[in-house]
Homo-oligomer: A and B are copies of this chain.
Amino acid sequence: MNAPLPDHVRPRVQARPIPAAMLEALRTRFGERCSTALALRQQHGRDESVYDVPPPEAVVFCESTDDVAFVVRQAAQHAVPVIPFGVGSSLEGHLLAVQGGVSIDLARMNRIVAVNAEDLTVTVEAGVTREQLNRDIRDTGFFFPIDPGANASLGGMSATRASGTNAVRYGTMRENVLALTVVTAEGEVMRTGTRAKKSSAGYDLTRLYVGSEGTLGVITEITLRLYPLPEALSAAICTFASIDAAVRTTIQIIQLGVPIARCELLDANAIRGVNQYSKLELPEAPMLLMEFHGSAAGVKEQTETVQAIAHEHGGTAFRYASTPEERTRLWAARHQAYFAALQLRPGCRCQSTDTCVPISRLAESINESIAEAEASGIPYWTVGHVGDGNFHLSYLFYPDDAREATEVERLSEQMVRRALRLEGTCTGEHGIGLHKMGYLVDEAGPAALEAMKRIKRALDPKNIMNPGKVLAL
């Protein structure tokens, strides 16, 4: 069911075999926690992208930063690649072992190291997932807001600079990671910051490693900002005659400074899928799904302001809900959109192309991408974190159908090139991985690309940290 690697990616595939001495050292230290079983390797050699490459040669289940440092020191000694693995939910081929090597599974590093409620900080091991974190700290009255959809690990979310639905209010991983523990490419352990909320002390290593996709070191612990659980929460949905009207509504919400917590757009196709899947009767037209956090009075005021703005732009069927049950019902469309869409074409795969543009260019960006998808005949649907100018066009296709695979790649490329023309980025939150390396070259330009390459070479001189991703050296 997977697609072959596109031509521009294939040349990067090369094996760098694990020498027997290294495998022996890993087996001696880790025993059964070091495995070369094919099924395990295959499970660690893929993510949510659609490509097929050979799996890593071995998988090591690490339980501590020291474990990770041991593996990396071995890898450094023998110039063997290492690829950190969280839950495998990345989307652009980040985890594919294009040069072989060892997959470092961090799922067992799932301890909450320290909750500092007075400081609104928490330190976790890299394998803790966002759902686990919020479950474990529920009694403190605080929560961690970043929600990329998947129940990803916080190590993985840091490594890809993830964001998602709450970012419009709470920021992305960039704003919410205070400090990291990182195993360097030499197997040294470093701390990239302190627990202070801000600092001007030297180069911002934290932000350099957030979004580095495992190519500069392995993130093993993360200190995160927490937020007080809001006193009141309310959700709302509203339907519009066009994408333009929904986006204009969003722009005005942001311009007025309404502290909206979520502002999601779904297109008519997404709603159609959900209606079929869940036997709902939502209007099959562009819809905004919103959430408001604050004091009871504040949430009421936000809801009324947004309703008035939506009304100005012809929004209809404005409904809102304050109880958890009602909120869940309103958000059903958003939560079910992915699975509902897959049902529209049994057995298909979904490729979700992610771009982010200045919000004034968002309607143009979405409308043209949709027009191209319509013309191609490939089924698609759209969802957008529109408060941030970030949206995804998801194409439903059969990867082993060469015509469809090529067509999806072409649609995706047109969408990315448009985002770059409109002063946006080739990825708002999914990352570069393997798939978008060519686009990064165009987005960054020669001088910034050269700076990134120099940083990579300086911090990973043997090119063992998730090699062949982000940058072609």
* A452 interface contact, C-beta 8 A: yes
- What chain B residues lie within 8 Å of A29 (beta carbons)? none
Known A-B contacts A196-B423, A301-B295; the reply to A201 vs B436 at CB < 8 A is yes
Contact in complex: B174, A444 (CB < 8 Å): no
Partner of A430, one of B200, B256, B356: B200
- What chain B residues lie within 8 Å of A192 (beta carbons)? 448
Contact in complex: B208, A208 (CB < 8 Å): yes
Contact in complex: B196, A424 (CB < 8 Å): yes
Interface with B: A11-19, A125-133, A160-168, A280-288, which one?
A160-168
Contact in complex: A428, B390 (CB < 8 Å): no
Quick one: which of A423-444 are within 8 Å of B by CB? 423-432, 436, 439-440, 443-444
Contact in complex: A200, B432 (CB < 8 Å): yes
Contact in complex: B445, A190 (CB < 8 Å): yes
Cα-based distance from A202 to B450 in the complex (angstroms)? 12
Contact in complex: A199, B356 (CB < 8 Å): yes
Chain B nearest CB: distance from A85 CB in Å?
18
A-B contacts, 17 of them at CB < 8 A, read: A118-B251, A118-B358, A120-B359, A174-B198, A174-B204, A188-B447, A196-B358, A196-B428, A198-B425, A200-B429, A201-B425, A202-B452, A202-B471, A203-B452, A205-B448, A205-B451, A455-B455
Closest 10 CB pairs of A and B: A207-B207, A190-B447, A118-B360, A458-B458, A228-B257, A199-B425, A454-B458, A119-B358, A196-B356, A188-B447
Known: A200-B428, A204-B207. 19 other contacts (CB 8 A): A116-B360, A120-B359, A161-B204, A167-B198, A171-B175, A188-B447, A190-B451, A192-B448, A194-B424, A196-B358, A196-B419, A197-B389, A199-B427, A202-B471, A204-B208, A205-B448, A227-B257, A297-B301, A298-B298
* Residues of chain A having any CB pair with chain B under 8 Å: 116-121, 141, 160-163, 167, 171-172, 174-175, 184, 188-205, 207-208, 210-212, 216, 227-228, 230-231, 251, 254-257, 259, 295, 297-298, 301, 356-360, 388-390, 419-420, 423-432, 436, 439-440, 443-448, 450-452, 454-459, 470-471
